[in-house]
Structure 1
């Protein structure tokens, strides 16, 4: 080391450094000893020295303590003896890891404080002395062995029954969960994450929570389920979004773009979707067979997108291969929309147009001319339809099996005669609220429609004569409703019960019947559920 460096170190003003750190009440002295490093002694100034008693009294320190700072230069050994002049160097050999550690018997004098702040500092300093004593007992020379010798506390988890089940069984259990529940299960552990995203569990999506951002959820799920095809999701075949009022055209665009194998979709009461998004959906999802847009007030018709129609050169390229369509409560659907629908959806077998009040007989004529494979049709509460529309329906092929004309009060016996004459395969007929229908048409219906199984004649002008015809020609009848038919008496009900032994459900509410008629039905039709309003029937 050069003399300039040593001179620079010797000229260090330690008093200034210590006064900056600990205050002006502390000073530093330096002693040189042979073969020993430099020692710096930190001490408090004498209160009576240099007339600084006022400053010292403010600090609250009465007695004097000293601490040493070890430097890098050599000095004598005499200072080592002075460091322990106040303590006894005699110690007990305490064994720790095979080595003796000296412990001092005599403790240094405890200072007294007049200041509460310094008194609190001293109480904490006692804790620091305790920690220093503990650290002195640790062999810090071999830290590697010390770290390796620490035993980690192992966390023991209680075993779950799923550890004893195979992956196939767990996937089978997960198959009973909804889409939201599967997403929650994927966050439990790595095993459940892997099994919850099994492709067999995601052939259908069910999102019925109105609080979710459905558009964002559809985008995330379809992207996550695109395993080998990054742009499309071929495993989803069924989507249920009933009641999702937050669904917009953006969500339908995601489905149309990423779900080409979609076959079944439920969009009931999705009031924010419009025609262009729905047209894009049915154009891209060429395998779509089931579509439910009931309650979607902005939907006026079903057609292909304009870009598809512009490229279609032949008629079969303009077809939508839907089999099931529910447009109930679509208040904007009129005859023009029904014409477009029937032209593009010629393979329809199930069509439900409940409470579409703008539809008239002209729209029903379009359906009858284009949808020749129709089996189920519901036009209940369409009060503008008359017997002329029913006559157009009767010209269809004899495949109609389900017909509901409830509350179409303009339909009379004339329309029922056409149905009875040409729809021989009819199995269900709902005429509730059609007060113009009487026993005359019921007789022809019972004679011609031998496959009839369910009949609703509530509030119709039917008497015991009509029940007698049903009992004679329709013995296989299983469900019958004569609610509020005031012309029905005990005689007609008893005769019906004696012949229709397979009756499963009978509605006789608001009918003037006795307990004897009720008991007769229970005696002959033992499995029949009777709906009534007479408290004496129990």
Structure 2
């Protein structure tokens, strides 16, 4: 009796039905069958009884169902296997439901409900078995492409630039991130000529990014500028890009002395500058003196103004036409330097607030140094006397004179101003009664008395206007 005669049986109808069920859940057992030799066939024929019952060489009482669960089966001859396969196909064709019944019938509770994705995979696998073992279906997800044309490609750079002029500055920065062409157009100097950053807080280095764009008019009134003003790699510091700033308003801005000095050191072309209520130093004033074309300078209420500061400014800025140093608490030495070294181009000056330092001699020196004066403000200088009126009458082009709260000047002395034909406005607040002012107005019919409460000498803004400095718009 040969041990090799025991072969793995062919799959029965029941096993194939279980395989079909398992294939739906992507379980694919592959049953292998080895061909039975001729000697084995003879042995099987000799041991078969009259009822054609197969008798195995190895007797066993194990039921076929248990063997099927273990993955093995009893051997059958090829003829019986072929007949069983044919019978199975006929049963499957008879029991195959119609498409309509498949859609209506409900699955059994024992069957596993497949998800749509699993059903697709099992369907692809069944198709692959029909086509071949090495065939596999894979469907790639199609990506959606937005088809269209860029309308800006049809426009010239000049037209795109005109469109960008309507955008605010923060939107221009975002447009510069779109492409290289938009970046080149968005950073054009025409779009960054005017900047209004008043009452804002600037992060360190932000001012450098603004000035690199070619800004000419910049308003920083009441702004807070953080240190450092420029980073070490800023093109303005390395002289790769020149600073084109000409009009700068720093009135009441919060900025350190070092930051102010760094800012003014890169500005060589300033024409009008306002540092009202800022703290200055010798380095700051030395940087101001480098602007030889400076025309208007407002330093009212500044702290730290010394004689060296005044000398540095007047030495470098010989084209000044308007200078405001009101309420800077100038010492006597600084006043002497101011009144004797002022350039002859000065037409408007404000030295108010020198309560105990400014005297008649200073006024005399000032009139001799600046014979072209048009506006003169000497308010709150309590040490002045009536002689000052006699000195002022020597100015042929004077139009505005302010002597408010100069208590040392007698009211009758103002009648001498009738000889000055060019005088148009006279401010003498808190000096006379209403009746005295009326009599003075009668003697000076061509002069408006007490019309302006505050002086406008060298100030960037007058009144409630905050969208322009020195008559120039700061917003597009």
Check the 8 A contact 1:482/1:507 in 2, yes or no.
Answer: no
* Deviating more after overlay: 325-334 vs 414-423: 325-334
Q: How do residues 376-387 of structure 1 correspond to structure 2 at under 5 angstroms? A: 376-386=322-332
> Which structure is richer in relative contact order (CA contacts within 8 A, separation 6 or more)?
2
Structure 1 residue 428 corresponds to structure 2 residue 412: no
Structure 1 residue 256 corresponds to structure 2 residue 237: yes
Check the 8 A contact 2:276/2:298 in 1, yes or no.
Answer: yes
Q: Output one character per residue of 1:166-188: Cα deviation in whole Å (capped at 9) or x when no partner.
A: 86465346446553342134468
Q: Output one character per residue of 1:25-52: Cα deviation in whole Å (capped at 9) or x when no partner.
A: x9979799xxxxxxxxxxxxxxxx76xx
Structure 1: segments with no counterpart, 5+ residues? 1-6, 33-48, 51-74, 90-102, 137-142, 226-234, 291-322, 510-528, 530-538
* Deviating more after overlay: 430-439 vs 176-185: 176-185
Check the 8 A contact 2:260/2:284 in 1, yes or no.
Answer: no
TM-score, normalised to structure 1, is 0.50
Larger strand proportion of the pair: 1
Number of equivalences: 375
**How has the CA–CA distance of structure 1 residues 275 and 453 changed in structure 2, closer, same or farther, with 3 Å as cutoff?**
same
Q: How do residues 108-507 of structure 1 correspond to structure 2 at under 5 angstroms? A: 110-113=106-109, 121=113, 168=158, 171-172=161-162, 174-175=164-165, 179-186=169-176, 195-203=185-193, 213-215=203-205, 218=208, 222=212, 243-248=223-228, 250-251=230-231, 254=234, 255-257=236-238, 258-260=240-242, 262-264=244-246, 266=248, 268=250, 269=253, 271-272=255-256, 274=258, 278=262, 282=265, 288-290=268-270, 328-329=276-277, 331=279, 333=281, 349-359=295-305, 364=310, 372-386=318-332, 389-390=335-336, 393-394=339-340, 396-410=342-356, 411-445=358-392, 447-461=393-407, 464-470=411-417, 472-474=418-420, 476-485=422-431, 487-493=432-438, 495-496=440-441, 499=444, 503=448, 506-507=451-452
Quote how far apart the aligned CAs of 1:434 are.
Answer: 1.6
Which protein is bigger by CA-based radius of gyration? 2
Q: Output one character per residue of 1:189-226: Cα deviation in whole Å (capped at 9) or x when no partner.
A: 9986664344432456666685554426845995xx7x
Check the 8 A contact 1:383/1:407 in 2, yes or no.
Answer: yes
Quote how far apart the aligned CAs of 1:425 are.
Answer: 0.9
Quote how far apart the aligned CAs of 1:448 are.
Answer: 1.6
Q: Output one character per residue of 1:394-432: Cα deviation in whole Å (capped at 9) or x when no partner.
A: 465533212211211121333333333443211122222
Check the 8 A contact 2:427/2:451 in 1, yes or no.
Answer: yes
Check the 8 A contact 1:383/1:408 in 2, yes or no.
Answer: yes
